[in-house]
Amino acid sequence: MDYIIFVIPIVLLVIYFGDFLHKYHNYFYLSAIIIVASSVVFMDVALFQTLTSPGLGISLLIVVMFTGAFKKKSKQRITLTKVRKELAILGYIVLIPHVVSNFSFEFHVARIFGSLAMLIMLPLFISSFPYIKKKIGRERWKKLHKLSYFAYTLMFIHATLIAIIVTKAYVIAIIYIFVFCIYLILKLNNYVFVRK
């Protein structure tokens, strides 16, 4: 739970400083890249070790996925959509130290799901930059980004399996499953509403 608790401050920051993030997104990306690169190089330094925790990354991606689950003209969707791209890009960047620090060729089923999620997200991450998005074209971009549903599912399976198998944090596993079910219900509700 302490991991996805970041969702609350992220949403509050988006409400109050979303425009600022949107306007200066390049500075945010650059800062994130510098901090992440430092953490990968100086992984033994305690300050940077905190970045190997996936908490911030998974929370950012949860906000991104829920944005698409809210109804089209809802206040929540309008507020979050403004910075959805920025949150997704930052989420991917800040997950890199977690991936690097846990990288291993040793087989572990949970690691497979995490790696697949990260791999599927790679083209989505790259194509989130406006220049690439323009090159791909709107329709192809939209089709490509449908892969995000698959990536979110794998991400939740990974986190849930780690909680069950590795950390034996069963309550945390239930929370992950619960959050994912809420997402599915909202998405389904949204879909039915749009189709009506």
Residue from 49, 76, 81, 115 binding ligand HEM (CB under 6 A) = 115
Which residue type occupies 68? G
Check: CB of residue 164 under 8 Å from CB of residue 173: yes
Cα separation, 101 vs 191, in Å, equals 38
Q: Alpha carbon of 106 to those of 99, 103, 117, 154, 178: distances in Å?
A: 14, 9, 18, 19, 30
* Interface map 54-83 toward ligand HEM (x if CB under 6 A): x--xx-------------------------
Cα separation, 104 vs 102, in Å, equals 6
First-to-last C-alpha distance (Å) of the chain: 36
Residue from 51, 98, 124, 153 binding ligand HEM (CB under 6 A) = 98
Q: Which of 41-49, 77-85, 110-118, 187-195 is the region at the interface with ligand HEM (rule: CB under 6 A)?
A: 110-118
Least Å distance, CB 53 to ligand HEM, is 7
Residue 168 backbone zone (phi > 0: left; psi -120 to 50: alpha; other: beta):
left
Binding to ligand HEM (CB under 6 A): which residues in 152-171? 155, 158-159, 162-163, 166-167
Residue from 77, 84, 111, 145 binding ligand HEM (CB under 6 A) = 111
Q: Residue 70 gets which letter from DSSP?
A: S
- For ligand HEM, the closer of residues 167 and 189 by Cβ is 167
Cα separation, 124 vs 147, in Å, equals 8
Least Å distance, CB 128 to ligand HEM, is 15
Q: Which of 21-29, 42-50, 108-116, 126-134 is the region at the interface with ligand HEM (rule: CB under 6 A)?
A: 108-116
Instruction: Report the interface residues with ligand HEM, using CB under 6 A.
Output: 3, 54, 57-58, 95, 98-99, 102-103, 111, 114-115, 117-118, 155, 158-159, 162-163, 166-167
